[in-house]
């Protein structure tokens, strides 16, 4: 395998030059169109002072231009740092201070905010500004080593402070090339791209499978059931989070006929229930292929393309990935069949957390295995089933919410004595964020929710805040979240609004 990610991408650009790469509402882009634009944009980035190893922070709406910006960043040898468009001022301030980017590319409405937060050292541009009058001359690709960082993706943690996962050129290239093979992508594939492009799933898994195989994608701004079903007439693959499949099943237009030309439906980022798996097959005749991964690791396991796709299982370790189950505290490796923490090793595992050697050291075993925080077991056929999480994490519609971050904001309020934030089963999002609060005086849950929206991205804001007289505690005084989860398990059973 070649040294850097851009070399792999450039081979595709050269090989598939005239073929269609991206189709959006505005126009069609061939591989050559995208490469030429990326080469010219890379020259612009360099003019703005972005050198090899510098961070480029991006918070833009989903667009083909953003994808071109990503390629231009790789071509310039810089480090790509995508942010969820939902992030608020306090969240952005943290990322700017921690990552120290040279350049931020944002929406027009955020320019003033970024300029104020970033100070003199940060260049701030919109996509329109970057693309206006691009230079004709393309920047030559800057060569990078396999181990050089290509991207930093922030993930929150149990302490509530996000950590930047450093993904190397080799991490991204090896995982992408392996998935092309494993899921049998060919230049004839057409992928429906309805995921956001600030996460591993939409940016690396879906996009690299297309870019590295010479396939093409129908690029949708977001998941919309009608648009996705409409695109199926011409497409072959859909990748999505379980909420996509739940919403497709709720759409009467999604039928066996609508899905007839599709060859593959992939699900990941959150558990796909065995019930949804079965209902999906009954509806359209396709068995969803479930796989499992993480921001820090890329894709780890997958159900087979050709063999049995087992409902409720995330499949076997992918080629090159070593996976074992261990006892969390001691690290003792457990025999097949026993439930423990999932640990992984392989060329796809990240380099560590940005400027955070302590956190990095804490999440690796001495022999190089990364401790995922997911609990599971391996069955007699080598299939992995995930049964829960050791980490206190809620996954809502494929997006991670760490209760600690929401609890810290609530606990800081004068009207809150203590708060416990839990995940509650939700028919659309899988899990929904709910806060159970012990007030310290007059308390208005609706007003508190509105105030939380100022400091938290919308998906992290509790769908409901419940005031209770007393939070249940164990003899040590610790809040019993398990009890709360049981107590409120049925609250969304009748529908999403609770
Ligand atoms: C939007 N909202 C959400 C979510 N998304 N709330 C909780 N969880 C969410 N995921 C908020 C909106 O801000 C809005 O709030 C209200 O919920 C209703 O929004 P709705 O219109 O239903 O949302 P949507 O725009 O249709 O989005 C739902 C979605 C989207 C399609 C499920 O969240 C999505 O595309 N998720 C995919 C995320 C993803 O790519 N994850 C991969 C991570 P209000 O009304 O209050 O403003 S990578 C990863 O996990 C690893 C590597 C892996 O294995 O893949
Ligand atoms: P992220 O930090 O967004 O990369 O989320 C990674 C986490 O998503 C993993 O540690 C798992 O807990 C979860 N996850 C990803 N894929 C699956 C899956 N197929 N089933 C269950 N959980 C999953």
Domains and CATH numbers, the chain: 5-177 (3.40.50.12780), 223-389 (3.40.50.12780), 393-487 (3.30.300.30)
Instruction: Using the mean position of ligand 2's atoms as its centre, give its distance from the Cα of residue 467 in Å.
Output: 30
Match 């919109």 to its residue by tokens: 126
Counting other chains too, the contacts that 195-199 makes at CB distance below 8 Å and 24 or more residues apart are 195/223, 195/239, 195/240, 195/241, 196/62, 196/84, 196/85, 196/222, 197/62, 197/66, 197/67, 197/70, 197/82, 198/58, 198/59, 198/82, 198/83, 198/84, 198/85, 199/82, 199/84, 199/153, 199/269, 199/295
- With cut-offs at 50, 70 and 90, classify the pLDDT of residue 494: confident
- pLDDT of 3 reads 67
Q: Is the CB of 293 under 6 A from ligand 2?
A: yes
Ligand nearest the Cα of residue 243 is 1
Ligand 1 pocket residue status of 250, Cβ below 6 Å: no
| Nearest atom, ligand 2, residue 386 CA | 21
294 C-alpha to center of ligand 2: Å? 6
Question: Taking the alpha carbons of 96, 99, 103, 105 in that order, is the dihedral positive or negative?
Answer: negative
Check if the beta carbon of residue 73 is closer than 8 Å to that of residue 101.
Answer: no
Which residue, by CA, sits nearest to atom 15 of ligand 2? 269
In the prediction, which pLDDT does 156 show?
81
Of residues 314, 311, 251, the one with CA closest to residue 284: 251
Average pLDDT value for residue range 8-21: 97
Whether residue 462 has its Cβ less than 6 Å from ligand 1: no
With a 6 Å cutoff on the Cβ, whether 241 touches ligand 1 is yes
Alpha-carbon span 148 to 80, nearest angstrom: 12
CA distance 340 to 266: 26
Q: Which residues pair with 343 in a beta bridge?
A: 324, 371
Contact 290, 315 (CB under 8 A): yes
Mean pLDDT throughout 299-322? 98
Centroid of ligand 1 to alpha carbon of 401 (angstroms): 11
* 14 dihedral zone (left: phi>0; alpha: psi -120 to 50; beta): alpha
Residue nearest to atom 9 of ligand 2 (CA): 294
Helix (H) or strand (E) holding 425: strand 416-426
Q: Is the CB–ligand 2 distance for residue 363 below 6 Å?
A: no
Pocket lining: 243 vs ligand 1, CB cutoff 6 Å: yes
Instruction: Locate the DSSP E strands across 184-287.
Output: 190-193, 216-219, 237-240, 264-267
Q: Is 175 in the pocket of ligand 1 (CB under 6 A)?
A: no
Q: What is the pLDDT of residue 42?
A: 98
Ligand positioned closest to the Cα atom of 245: 1
Confidence band for 1, pLDDT divided at 50, 70 and 90? very low
C-beta of 193 in contact with ligand 1 (< 6 A): no
Lowest mean pLDDT of 2-11, 99-108, 161-170, name the range: 2-11
Phi, psi of 75 (to 5 degrees): -65, -35
Ligand 1 proximity of 269 Cβ (cutoff 6 Å)? yes
pLDDT at position 2 is 47
Q: Write down the pLDDT at residue 465.
A: 98
Mean pLDDT, residues 119-129: 96
Residue 277 CA to ligand 2 center (angstroms) comes to 17
Distance of CA 6 to the CA centre of its chain: 21
Q: What count of other Cβ atoms lies within 10 Å of the Cβ of residue 24?
A: 18
């Amino acid at each position: 395998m070649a040294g850097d990610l851009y070399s792999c991408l450039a081979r595709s650009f050269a090989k598939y030059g005239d073929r269609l790469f991206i189709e959006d509402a505005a126009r069609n882009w061939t591989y050559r169109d995208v490469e030429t634009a990326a080469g010219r944009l890379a020259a612009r980035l360099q003019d703005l002072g972005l050198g090899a190893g510098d961070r480029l922070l991006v918070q833009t709406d989903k667009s083909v231009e953003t994808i071109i910006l990503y390629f231009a960043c790789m071509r310039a040898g810089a480090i790509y740092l995508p942010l969820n468009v939902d992030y608020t001022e306090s969240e952005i301030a943290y990322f700017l201070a921690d990552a120290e980017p040279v350049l931020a590319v944002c929406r027009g409405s955020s320019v003033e905010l970024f300029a104020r937060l970033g100070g003199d050292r940060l260049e701030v541009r919109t996509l329109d500004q970057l693309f206006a009058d691009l230079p004709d001359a393309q920047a030559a690709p800057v060569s990078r080593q396999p181990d050089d960082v290509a991207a930093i993706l922030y993930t929150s943690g149990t302490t509530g402070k996000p950590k930047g996962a450093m993904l190397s050129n080799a991490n991204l290239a090896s995982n992408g090339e392996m998935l092309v093979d494993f899921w049998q992508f060919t230049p004839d594939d057409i992928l429906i791209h309805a995921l956001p492009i600030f996460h591993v799933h939409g940016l690396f898994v879906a996009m690299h499978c297309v870019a590295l195989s010479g396939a093409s994608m129908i690029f949708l701004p977001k998941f919309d059931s009608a648009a996705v079903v409409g695109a199926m007439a011409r497409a072959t693959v859909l990748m999505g989070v379980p909420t996509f499949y739940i919403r497709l099943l709720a759409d009467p237009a999604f039928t066996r006929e609508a899905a007839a030309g599709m060859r593959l439906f992939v699900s990941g980022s959150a558990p796909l229930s065995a019930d949804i798996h079965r209902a999906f097959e009954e509806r359209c005749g396709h068995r969803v292929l479930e796989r499992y991964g993480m921001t820090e690791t890329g894709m780890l396991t997958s159900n087979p393309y050709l063999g049995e796709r087992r409902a409720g299982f995330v499949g076997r370790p992918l080629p090159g990935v070593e996976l074992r189950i261990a006892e969390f505290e001691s690290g003792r490796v457990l025999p097949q069949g026993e439930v423990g923490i999932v640990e992984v090793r392989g060329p796809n595992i990240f380099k560590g957390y940005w400027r955070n050697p302590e956190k990095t050291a804490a999440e690796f075993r001495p022999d190089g295995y990364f401790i995922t925080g997911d609990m599971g077991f391996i069955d007699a056929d080598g299939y992995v089933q995930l049964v829960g999480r050791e980490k206190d994490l809620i996954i809502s519609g494929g997006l991670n919410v760490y209760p600690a971050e929401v609890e810290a904001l609530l606990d800081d309020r004068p009207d809150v004595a203590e708060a416990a934030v839990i995940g509650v089963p939700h028919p659309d999002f899988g899990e929904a964020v709910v806060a159970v609060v012990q007030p310290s005086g007059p308390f208005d849950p609706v007003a508190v929710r509105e105030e939380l929206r100022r400091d938290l991205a919308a998906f992290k804001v509790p769908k409901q805040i419940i005031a209770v007289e007393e939070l249940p505690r164990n003899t040590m005084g610790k809040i019993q979240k398990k009890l709360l989860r049981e107590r409120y398990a049925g609250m969304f059973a009748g529908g999403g609004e609770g």
